Structure 1
Amino acid sequence: MIPSWLVIGSVTLLVTLGGILFRPRDLKWAVQLERPNWLTFEPFIPVIWTVVFTCGAVSAYIVWEQNPGSLKTWLLMGLYLLLEIVTVCYTSVTLRVRSLTVGTIIGVTGVILSVLLTLTVLPISGWAAVLLLPYVIWSPIGSYTTWEMIRLNPSAE
């Protein structure tokens, strides 16, 4: 039998890699956008998301191990997966449709899902909930940044 940590880690990695599916011309559009002056941490965003996804995967592992295979646990794994899919769709969909408004909507959806997941997981495991806090903290920052960029790039709304 394959260990649960390996399955959860592999799914996390595969979904994350799926998020880099975008066309070079879409990336060119994003590079040309104006950014807020306070966005000095942009080079660290890939590292930040790596930490966020790793913490999310460990959180999912902890939840799985509390009651492996139960319907409730499977539903929670579905919610973890949905949150990750929404998160990785942010970049590819925003670039594909060239709309910061769409990016903001996807980002806010991720914020809502992360808060719901954290609150749902809290009674099961405090540590699993704590490991979701990087997402709960970082996701609103990314969503706010995208929203702020709409003001700076009205043609990219």
Structure 2
Amino acid sequence: MIKIVRTNSENTDFVKLINFLDKYLAEKHGNDHFFYTQYNKVDQIKHVVVAYQDDEPIGCGAIKQYDPDTMEVKRMYTSPVARGKGIATNVLTELEIWTTELGYKKCILETEKRQVKAIELYKKNGYQLIPNYGQYAQIENSVCFEKDMIRIF
């Protein structure tokens, strides 16, 4: 059975999972990874979700405030052994629920164009392509999405 836990960025299981994420991204994307690292610091993240199966952490994600109406989805990761089982959708859904409980109206996120599975996940879950925002505005390899939370929950 999958258990979803709300926590913060100090959670040791979250830290363990994002270390795997960072290693994966560095191997997959090489030098491009270093640009993104500066925007993925967890010290400013207060809202984290960790997914467990049999008390083993298998997935995570986080949200952080982007502006007064918007949360940005960050640090989405599912361990390789748990992929294809709906874990990422469960984590994303919990982050969206939390977003609405906190009074935010939408979620935005950025991923790399080469992250085909991530793009499929976000589209499947109702995210719409938007122009690249903020620090990603001029980054050719980035693709950004948005989802209106008001109509969802």
- The structure that has the greater radius of gyration is 1
The TM-score with structure 2 as length reference comes to 0.35
More helix as a share of residues: 1
Larger RCO, structure (CA 8 Å, separation 6 or more): 1
Using the size of structure 1 for normalisation, the TM-score is 0.34
